[in-house]
Structure 1
Amino acid sequence: MESADIENDDDISSSDNVEQTDSQISSHKTQSPSTQENDELEVFREEWREELKRKQQPQSSSVEEEAVSLYWMGAAAERSGDMHAALLFYKKACHLVPDIDFKLNKEQPPQSSDSEDSGDEDGPSGYERGSRELVEQFQTLSIQGPHWCTPARSTKSVHISSLPLDVVRCIVQWVVSAQLDMRSLEIVSMTCRALYCLAREPHLWRMACRRVWRDVSSASSYGDSWRRMFILKPHLQFNGVYISKNSYVRQGERSLDTFYRPYHTVVYYRFLRFLPDGSVMYQNTPENPMVSVSRLCHKHSRDESVLLGEYTHTGSKVVVEVVSQATGGSPQRQRGRGKGKRQGSSYDRKFHLELSLSSSSSRQRCNQLSWREYSCQSLHKPTGHAQTSHFNLDYTYTPFYFSRVKSYSTNSTGMLT
């Protein structure tokens, strides 16, 4: 009986243990989803921290060394003149290390410890040094080898490189022409390295300076560079025209009922075109500049409104004198006896203009002429009586501004000599 009771107690205890185990399993099952989510979130956080640490860590030495090597290879290619290969090396270096150029500018470049001091804080930056070196390399370019030019690809037609170098120099002088079209010369210099060198020859710019200034003794103040002197020293421009737009108000006629009185705004233009030989063309007309500039294309124009004269240029001062002959005036109708007959003007007029040459901006040099003095001397041919009138330079005398005219440089009348 007792044994049976004991067996029953064991069954009870075992059943209790089973119930306890089931409860633990059920509780474990109810807690497992949240625990797994916490574990996954913690793993994600750890991976994210490691990724941030990897991004914040500097580039590996091997990758950075390869980028530095590619960068200096590009610099060497640039010094030798192979710009295409230099760009390829620079792109590969920046692909490996995006800020490789900034890092190298803070360091001493290789093979330059003897010539430059990287510890000088007041010295030029790496970019400025590179730009200066590039300019110096372009200035030292020269034509080398038996042929002054080499074709980029084979062709059946005769290439310009077959011409002798002296003939090509004459062609370049025809490009500049007697009109001193230096803009066309710069365009030709962009063609190839050989024409770039020919367009930078000192004797070419020396001839241009002699055409502009009779005295070229001041070239020493520009580092004995004729091209630098021509660019920096103030001078007139010859491939266009200086235009001054003027306007005034004129009173009109009253209406029949005297209630309405109109006022008209009159607009007219003054044109000045300077030529390298010291002559100048002057015109005063109400016509649109698009129509008038064509009349100043040739020196000997048939238009009576175009006056010819001479000019002198000293520093920033420009003196212009143009003459209106008595036979070139508009005919006038006589009164009294001989009424109906027409005759020309009996006055010779000489206009004297003193202008000041300046630049309106850093990009547009020597493009503005401001008034300093304006007078007119009239000579009556029959009596010989002369009279001089000085004009008051008020706000109505607006400055002249330069405008380039393409038709002035399409043809060359002669080569630069």
Structure 2
Amino acid sequence: MAAPFEEEPPTEDVLNSFRAEWKRELEGSQQRQTSPLNAEEKLEQDKHKKAREYFQEGVKLEQTGKLYDAIKFYKKAEQLVPDIEKEVYQITSVQVNPQKMNLSAQVKNEDENHNPVEDTNQDNDDITNLIEKFNRDVCLDNKPTIQQEFENNNVRHIGSLPAELLNLIFKWVVSADLDFRSLENCSLVCKGFYLAARDQDIWRQICIRAFGKSSLSHNIEGIPWRQWYLSSASIHYNGCYVSKMTYIRQGERGFQDHESYRAWHMVTYYRLIRLFPGGKMLMVLSADDPSLTAKLMNNRNFCSIQGVLYGEYRVVEKKLVCVLHKTAPKKSAPKISRRKRRDSMIYYDVPDQDFLLEFQIKGKNSKLLYWSSYKIINKYSTGRETEEDITLSDQNFPRMQFVKVGSYHFESSAPL
């Protein structure tokens, strides 16, 4: 007998089964292609994670003072990921900043509930409000202004000193020579030092030292003394004002030189002015190196340079007015016998001289002095006085530029 007739499956079912099998094959090939990439990414992620763990462990060791062990972990982290520090900073800043913002908001709300505080709606990092910000942080933390980084009961920390004693220490830092650079460097240490360096009493005494007691009556509006000093100050104390002058002079002809030969020499010399706090000053003319000459001008009462002039100065509306004195040497009259009185020597009257100088203060940060006038007053022993008005020119009297001298504020001789 013939085999029974078998019905063929419908065409649509065959197509559907073919499509499903084809889809499974495609998905399988894609998984086989992506599986090596996923493995490489996983290895890279594990390496970055391990590097972050090494770096954070190094941070913990550094905070506890174990610097040598911390360096080992830092090196391991950098060997795995060279830019690990930037990566850790980005990850931790994204995670920590929202918490800090919420915490600060809670603290502000609590403070407003107990003690209302004005909402200034300004950035806390604004440099103009650092004093207010640091004072607010100290009040909220309820801790000393200067805190220990590591607890050590065997050593007494500077933060435990009373405010009056810390104020005296900073007056020694400023010293009588007004060393502002050292004071500003101290203010960069911590919040407590920043507040101590901005103390009103210190800057009030600085203004008195720089401008005299008359400055107390000038600050009528009650501006903070530091701000008032920075807006009023126009001279510098940690260096000298220097100018260079040159001229040509004819030399003498030697016995071997030809009659038509004439020697000419280029002469160079320097004028240096040193201003001291309190109105004292020095002026020197010297042909030596100005850097060496300036180091000898470190005392307002004594200078070993020959021909140095001592005087006083005042600053009046961007003008520097100076008065320098030169006393004539006193000569003792020799004893003359009666026989030689007729043929006695005649001595000329050498006058005492006062030099009146006036400058215009200009330039960036007020570091340039331009000559305005120069007068010499001769005072004779007979009471006669004469006045000479010197003609000013850019060649003979060029502008004077301020140059810092590091040895001036090397040590403090007296407190503010």
**In the superposition, relative to structure 1, how do residues 268 and 347 fare at CA in structure 2: closer, same or farther (>3 Å)?**
same
1:404 aligned partner: 404
Given that 1:175 and 1:412 are in contact with CA atoms closer than 8 Å, whether structure 2 keeps it comes out as: yes
Q: Deviations over 1:149-175 (max 9, x none)?
A: 221113443322232221111000111
Q: Distance in 2 between matches of 1:367 and 1:161?
A: 38
Residue 237 of structure 2 corresponds to which residue in structure 1?
238
The alpha-carbon deviation at position 181 of structure 1 amounts to 1.3
Corresponding residue number in structure 1 for 2:199: 201
SS in 2 for 1:322: strand
* Residue number in structure 2 paired with 1:277: 278
Partner residue in 2 for 1:268:
269
Equivalence for 2:324: 322
- Measured on the aligned residues, the alpha-carbon RMSD in Å equals 3.5
Aligned equivalent of 2:359, options 355, 361, 381: 355
- Cross-structure match for 2:145: 148
Residue in structure 2 matched with residue 252 of structure 1 by the alignment: 251
| 1:264-343 paired onto structure 2 within 5 Å | 264-303=265-304, 304-327=306-329
- The answer (yes or no) to whether the contact 1:327–1:345 under 8 Å persists in 2 is no
Q: What is the CA–CA distance in structure 2 between the aligned matches of 1:198 and 1:314, rounded to whole Å?
A: 31
Post-superposition shift, 1:189? 0.7
CA contact 1:374–1:393 (8 Å) conserved in 2: yes
Query: Cα 1:297–1:328, aligned 2, differ >3 Å: closer, same or farther?
Result: farther
The aligned counterpart of 2:172 is 174
**TM-score using structure 1 length:** 0.61
CA deviation after TM superposition for structure 1 residue 199, in Å: 0.5
Structure 1 pair 185/162, CA: closer, same or farther in 2 (3 Å)? same
1:139: how far off? 4.3
* Structure 1 equivalent of residue 389 of structure 2: 390
Which among 160, 164, 167 is matched to residue 162 of structure 1? 160
1:54 aligns with none
Aligned to 1:120: none
**Which of the two has higher C-alpha Rg?**
1
Name the SS of the counterpart of 2:145 in structure 1: coil
Percent identity reads 27
Query: Which residue pairs with 2:414 in the alignment?
Result: 414
Amino acid at match of 2:181: R
In structure 2, the CA distance between the partners of 1:392 and 1:134, relative to structure 1 (3 Å rule), is closer
How far apart, CA to CA, are the structure 2 residues paired with 1:165 and 1:403?
A: 36
| Contact 2:349/2:380, CA 8 A, preserved across alignment | no
Taking the aligned partners of 2:302 and 2:236, their CA distance within structure 1 comes to 20
SS at match of 1:258: coil
Deviation digits for residues 5-63 of structure 1 (CA, Å, limit 9, x no counterpart) = xxxxxxxxxxxxxxxxxxxxxxxxxxxxxxxxxxxxxx9xxxxxxxxxxxxxxxxxxxx
TM (normalized to structure 2)? 0.61
Question: Any residues of structure 2 matched to 1:363-378 within 5 Å, and which?
Answer: 365-378=365-378
Q: Matched residues in 1 for 2:170 and 2:94: separation? A: 43
CA shift in 2, pair 1:131/1:241, >3 Å = farther
Q: Any idea what the Cα deviations from partners look like across 1:377-397, whole Å, max 9, x if unmatched?
A: 12233x443221111111121
Structure 1 residue 215, shift from structure 2 partner: 2.5
The answer for the alignment partner of 1:126 in structure 2 is none
State the match for 1:49 in structure 2.
Answer: none
Contact 1:212 1:235 (8 Å CA) reproduced: no
Tell me the distance in 2 between the aligned counterparts of 1:198 and 1:415. Answer: 16
> C-alpha displacement at 1:253, in angstroms?
2.2
Contact conserved, 2:239 with 2:402, CA < 8 A, in 1?
Answer: yes
Corresponding position of 2:350: 346
**How many aligned residue pairs are there?**
290
Task: Give the aligned residue type for 1:374.
Answer: Y
Unpaired segments ≥5 residues, structure 2: 1-29, 31-85, 96-104, 106-121, 332-342
